[in-house]
Structure 1
């Protein structure tokens, strides 16, 4: 049924990895993707050694005859990915609170997608229409569009 008064919900398509998130919109269910915003995390592209010079101390571990880290160690790139996932989730939550987004489609590598989910509030998770666990970040919008449902609504 063609309804001339049909109003497209406020949809955002998020294509992200640990270093960049691209946000797209579309003006029709089968329409092309239009990039509306980009969030960057340049630290994700640095080598671990460039991110930190402070390593946890080590001590002798007489029980195992070896050495162990005095604290749990998380790789610096992983820490940066976690920060970026939180920043992206906060950005999307802000857009949702402002009434700018009513439905989300998200594509990201599985590890980053999982990290993003950890930082999403239940209200934000509730508007996610589809998640794609693939890295589409290097594709152009026309190539990306093929990975999302034919009708985005």
Structure 2
């Protein structure tokens, strides 16, 4: 049985979507996604200074550090945007299986946002930062046979 596999190659600022329609065939690029906010520094994204916190004892105060950097928040937004696209694509029957190839920190963010609904459809996860690689290079990191064919 012929299956369609989507391969997402991403980091926090760029993602490319490839498709394989044969277990041992080449990849075809379908889409590219860019999230320019992820490439900016925190100071470029935030216009004001950090808030002030006061010491529990004494008159001193200090600058408050945010729980997460703006870049991390932007990466999470991009992961959410990609996951919504992938969930819709799967719901529309555009692919059967999914390969995630992403920079290590972004791979976790993307996996978290995909949630349990896609877990059984993820064929492979690779912690590689290759969103600028060509299709042949991406294919070289994948198994020779992406999936097994049952009954033919």
The TM-score range, normalised by the shorter chain, is 0.7 to 0.9
Alignment partners' CA distance in 1, 2:47 and 2:67? 13
Aligned with 2:99 (options 87, 102, 105)? 105
State the Cα RMSD in Å.
1.8
TM-score under structure 1 length normalisation:
0.87
In the TM superposition, 1:1-153 aligns within 5 A as 7-63=1-57, 67=62, 69=64, 72-153=66-147
Deviates more, 1:45-54 or 1:142-151: 45-54
Structure 1: state its 5+ residue gaps: 1-6
The answer (yes or no) to whether the contact 1:56–1:73 under 8 Å persists in 2 is: no
Partner SS for 1:53: coil
TM-score normalized with structure 2 length = 0.87
Deviation digits for residues 100-121 of structure 1 (CA, Å, limit 9, x no counterpart): 1210011001110111111113
TM-superposed CA distance for 1:51, in Å, is: 1.1
Distance 2:21 2:32 in 1: 19
Q: CA deviation at 1:128?
A: 0.1
Listed as ranges, the gaps of 5+ residues in structure 2 are: 148-152
The secondary structure found in structure 2 opposite 1:106 is strand
